[in-house]
Structure 1
């Protein structure tokens, strides 16, 4: 059985209100456009999640909303807010969907992406995982609790700049 992971870092957030707590920061104009573009890209590819695991932050929630995807199950959790690569893997290991969209933050997302794949894509920005970067990867495993480091096969990788320019 093949499992699919859509790994997305939140889109570009606004720093317009310096008094706003980090967890409450919304997306800026570019971030809104990026999230919408990535959602369209996923739909065109026919890669749609049936489960979403996301940080509870405002910017990850808004990224998911702007992507305009629907999933059978959506979970927003503090456990993915600035999570380490190992914390992200722990959360993913509890997933139940066939295709999971996981939304989070750097530096954990970049570290996770680099460690979960068998081989990185030939893309300069994969290693720093900029805002709204998205990787589609598959795993030859029957359940997510059998997924471990260096087991994902990259199917595609995109940064919003490639979709918006």
Structure 2
């Protein structure tokens, strides 16, 4: 079985209207949410997610989110590819990128953007907890973490809409004390 993890970037800073969208950093709320997610990963049942590869948008806010949450892996950081093509590319492009993964990759974490991630997860997953699926269809807030199981013996190149199971959806607000 293969696993796809999606991490939407944390809340970005809009204070400088002249700054290109790609270059917006995290705001304080986003930094806090990313730290909350990192803490959740550190203590979650079964330990932090352990992808074989990380695919991260080159947008500043996506990279900053990954920098904060990846602290849970300490010195054992998975291979990371920073890809401009993941920046607001559409769900079809994300699916194509996943189909291009090598079969040695059992689990992948993508760090990127909405609406692409919400649509990708929604359209991949025709299975899973109906409450989680409804929550995902309604909204994927910033810094939310999605877990998707792809049934064996599916190869990445054979991934298609409706094939996968939504196995987890964690939003920062779910973790607030």
Same fold? TM cut 0.5 = yes
Greater mean deviation of Cα atoms: 26-35 or 142-151 = 142-151
**Could you tell me which residue of structure 1 aligns to residue 173 of structure 2?**
161
Task: Name which of structure 1's ranges 119-128 and 3-12 shifts more when overlaid on structure 2.
Answer: 119-128
Structure 1: how far apart are the matches of 2:88 and 2:123? 17
Shift of 1:72: 2.7
Structure 1 gap ranges (5+): none
Deviations 1:108-139 (A, max 9, x none): 11111110112364145412211111111111
**What's the counterpart of residue 50 of structure 1?**
52
Structure 2, unaligned runs of 5 or more: none
Report the CA distance between 1:50 and its aligned residue: 1.9
1:39 equivalent in alignment to 2:38: yes
Aligned partner of 1:147 in structure 2 is 159
SS of the counterpart of 1:35? helix
C-alpha RMSD of matched pairs (Å): 1.7
Question: What is the distance in 1 between the residues matched to 2:135 and 2:112?
Answer: 17
SS in 2 for 1:126: helix
The 5 Å alignment of 1:1-165 reads 2-43=1-42, 44-45=44-45, 46=47, 47-67=49-69, 68-70=71-73, 71-96=77-102, 97-119=105-127, 121=129, 122-123=131-132, 125-127=135-137, 128-142=139-153, 143-165=155-177
Contact 1:24 1:59 in 2 (8 A): yes
Number of equivalences: 164
Larger radius of gyration: 2
Q: In 2, distance between residues paired with 1:36 and 1:138?
A: 25
TM-score (ref. length: structure 2): 0.84
Contact persistence 1:138–1:153 (CA under 8 A) = yes
Deviation at 1:147, TM superposition (A): 1.7
What is the CA distance between 1:95 and its match in structure 2?
2.4
Change (3 A) 1:85 1:61: same
| 8 Å Cα contact 1:12-1:30 kept in structure 2 | yes
